Amino acid sequence: MSDHEERVFSGVQPTGNLHLGNYLGAIKKFVALQERHTCLYCVVDMHAITEWQEPEALRRSIRELTAAYLAVGIDPKAHIIFNQSQVSCHAELAWIFNCVARMGWLSRMTQFKEKAGKHRENASVGLFAYPNLMAADILVYKATHVPVGDDQKQHLELARDIAQKFNTDFAASIAARGHGDAFFTLPEPLITGPATRVMSLRDGSRKMSKSEESDMTRINLADDADTIAQKIRKARTDPEPLPSEPAGLEDRPEARNLVGIYAALCDRTVEETLAEHGGAQFSAFKQALTDLMVETLTPIGEETARLLTDTGHIDAVLADGAARARTVAEPILRQVKDIVGFVQG
């Protein structure tokens, strides 16, 4: 990898059930991007432990997410699949960013507020500093593009703020060390398409999430055909037929969610989907959606389960990815330390 090409980085937390939101908001896009970019896809296990994880469950989830990356068709030879904790550069740069980012910036993060809730005093320090580690993940590779779901937008803005402040605070040192007038380029978020925020199947005002108690609110990548059919059949809708134009979905969050999911699954726009299904009753549309979902997701679930029977192979993919990730990150981290003023051997 040369220093100036476009480079894609993204991460997913190994915290249990991968669901349709993770797939449409992020992982499906990871697959498409590998055609034209050099990509690093990370299993962010250090982010996972910002909230309590049982060690054996964490180990299983890391392997499961790795298997899912492979099952959707990410090529681990042409690109890099690895887990964060095997590349210590992330943690080292995150510490430096802990000293660049301001308390006030992090206090405004809505995800921290949501996750810490009323128990703020009892949240881990890691949960508060989480976005600094995320900025380090991206910037330690000088990644240029970051595909994520809509809920990560604020964290990416913070990563850009950190990059900018680092460039400004250290401007003289950056210039003196021959890096010109900026060391980090600001990473671009890629938050596009009809399913950047997939909602709960039971409540169109809530995000589909791994932490939601009822399994009926989400489709998991591991669900079998019958489970998918049952969840879609029971998904909340309204009594009207589908409109033929997107404007007709306003104030109909559940309908909008299902149409967005359908469109994203078959790589069409909401307009195209409504041109085809406008006027249909939900009973018919739900059947079409179930068929499409079963066709797309069940092979991924089955392939993930198959790959998981050989943990030796999974662990080898991660070790190889980590070794290659280090060759990109180490020189960049070295330059950062030099800019900051650390003496290195």
Q: Is 143 in the site for ligand AMP (CB under 6 A)?
A: no
22 binds, among ligand AMP, ligand TRP, none (CB under 5 to 8 A by kind): ligand AMP
Q: Is 324 in the site for ligand TRP (CB under 6 A)?
A: no
Is 144 or 196 the residue whose CB approaches ligand AMP more closely? 196
Of 3-11, 97-105, 227-235, 300-308, which part binds ligand TRP (CB under 6 A)?
A: 3-11
* Structure tokens belonging to residue 303: 């392939």
* Structure tokens belonging to residue 232: 């879609």
Q: Where are the alpha helices (DSSP H) in the chain?
A: 20-22, 28-33, 45-48, 55-72, 89-98, 103-107, 110-116, 125-139, 153-169, 171-176, 225-233, 253-265, 270-277, 282-307, 311-340
What's the half-sphere exposure (Cβ side, CA atoms, 13 Å) at 157? Answer: 10
Q: Which of 249, 237, 228, 191 is nearest to 26 (CA)?
A: 191
Q: Catalytic positions, please?
A: 115, 207, 210
Residues 14-43 that bind ligand AMP (CB under 6 A): 21-22, 25-26
Contacts 24+ apart (CB under 8 A), 233-238: 233/286, 233/290, 234/201, 235/201, 235/202, 235/286, 236/201, 236/202, 236/203, 236/204, 237/282, 237/286
Quote the least distance from Cβ 26 to ligand AMP, whole Å.
4
Residues 127-186 that bind ligand TRP (CB under 6 A): 134, 137-138, 146, 148, 152, 155
Q: Is 194 in the site for ligand AMP (CB under 6 A)?
A: no
Binding-residue total with ligand TRP (CB under 6 A): 13
C-alpha dihedral, 336 to 338 to 339 to 340, nearest 10°: 90
Quote the least distance from Cβ 280 to ligand AMP, whole Å.
24
Q: Is 10 in the site for ligand TRP (CB under 6 A)?
A: yes
Contact 30, 41 (CB under 8 A): yes
Would you give the DSSP letter of residue 187? Answer: P
137 binds, among ligand AMP, ligand TRP, none (CB under 5 to 8 A by kind): ligand TRP
Q: Is 18 in the site for ligand TRP (CB under 6 A)?
A: no
Quote the least distance from Cβ 157 to ligand TRP, whole Å.
13
Is 257 or 273 the residue whose CB approaches ligand AMP more closely? 257
271 binds, among ligand AMP, ligand TRP, none (CB under 5 to 8 A by kind): none
* Structure tokens belonging to residue 167: 């460039």
Q: Is 4 exposed, middle or buried (0-12, 13-18, 19+ CB in 10 A)?
A: exposed
Q: Is 208 in the site for ligand AMP (CB under 6 A)?
A: yes
Q: Is 14 in the site for ligand TRP (CB under 6 A)?
A: no
Quote the least distance from Cβ 134 to ligand TRP, whole Å.
4
Is 7 or 286 the residue whose CB approaches ligand TRP more closely? 7
187 binds, among ligand AMP, ligand TRP, none (CB under 5 to 8 A by kind): none
Q: Is 300 in the site for ligand AMP (CB under 6 A)?
A: no
* Structure tokens belonging to residue 268: 């069409």
Q: Which of 41, 105, 122 is nearest to 75 (CA)?
A: 41
Residues 41-80 that bind ligand TRP (CB under 6 A): 44, 47
| 196, amino acid identity | T
Which residues are near ligand AMP by CB under 6 A? 12-13, 21-22, 25-26, 148-149, 151-152, 196-198, 207-208
Tell me which residues touch ligand TRP (CB under 6 A). 9-11, 13, 44, 47, 134, 137-138, 146, 148, 152, 155
